[in-house]
Amino acid sequence: MAPTNVLRCCQRVVGWIPVIFITLVVCWSYYAYVIELCVFTILSIGEKVVYLVVFHLSFIMFVWSYWKTIFTSPAKPSKEFNLIKSDKEQYDREERAETQQEILKRAAKDLPVYTRTASGAIRYCDHCQLIKPDRCHHCSACDMCVLKMDHHCPWVNNCVGFANYKYFMLFLAYSLLYCLFIASTVLQYFIKFWTGDLPDTHAKFHVLFLFFVAAMFFISLLSLFSYHCWLVSKNRSTIEAFRAPVFRNGPDKNGFSLGIGKNIKQVYGDQVKYWLLPIFTSQGDGCSYPTRLVNQDVEQPNTINNSEPVKKYMYYYFCINLLT
């Protein structure tokens, strides 16, 4: 046990290295932009004021969302997904997988669980000893089951999931704007230093390097942010994008998609005025999710069949109402 604890402690310490790196880069960018560019390089007072106001607005929103992404604890399944003591003891004693599945089916019959493993079995975490809610996965880095797990991000040293996915999206958006603003406003002074129109001072290195760093991060963040915007529009996690969730009637990559509008609201909430603020407004409890009206599921009474017979029925119903 001792070597395992030491290894896990080392992993936790090493996990903060990317966060410390990003923090140092951001601190340097603040100094380079505010002091070296705005104070020592830009001569126009009006230009200084405008640049500093916009810069600090983007900086505050970026740091706020980054902080929330890092320090918001991943959401865990509620206690109702844990096996009761008798079922747990019976499950541990049983060696046959078929009997274990019968125990899990009996325990999950009243739970809002509609996804299965690839083989059609109840999704159970042996490590956490609980029935996994839909879209929940075990994170080996966090050593816990995480609701609507998207991925474990080393740059925030945290699992991105139900509790902080909105913060993660805002972090990407505001860091993108932060880099874009820096690169666009520094560009003219970058050119002047490069062509020799401005005298060589200690600010030259900071301004030149600031443009390269901002441009580099902007390009890399743009692809990542675009990909996650696509995931939000489809109501998929990164895990679900690579491996479609399996329902009782088989895998369906669009099983949780409710349309772009509802998909966006599921992450950002119903009130648009809070969408751009890193405060929690996501819909639901993270343990259950409405599913797309695709397949008739006799064990899921809340779903409506949207197969061809139902489409024909709705068509005839519409025609009759139109005629009457």
Residue 77 DSSP code: P
Token code pair at residue 15: 């996990």
The two tokens of residue 211 are 């443009």
> Which of 136, 142, 153, 179 does the annotation list as catalytic?
153
C-alpha to C-alpha distance for 218 and 230, rounded to whole angstroms: 18
Is 125 among the catalytic positions?
no
DSSP 122: B
Cα separation, 321 vs 319, in Å, equals 5
Q: Which amino acid is at 264?
A: I
Strands (E), 91-230: 115-116, 124-125, 130-131, 137-139, 144-146, 151-153, 158-160
Q: Cβ of 308: how many Cβ atoms within 10 Å?
A: 8
Query: For the chain, what percentages of helix, strand and coil (3-state, to nearest 5) are there?
Result: 55, 5, 35
Instruction: Enumerate the active-site residues.
Output: 153
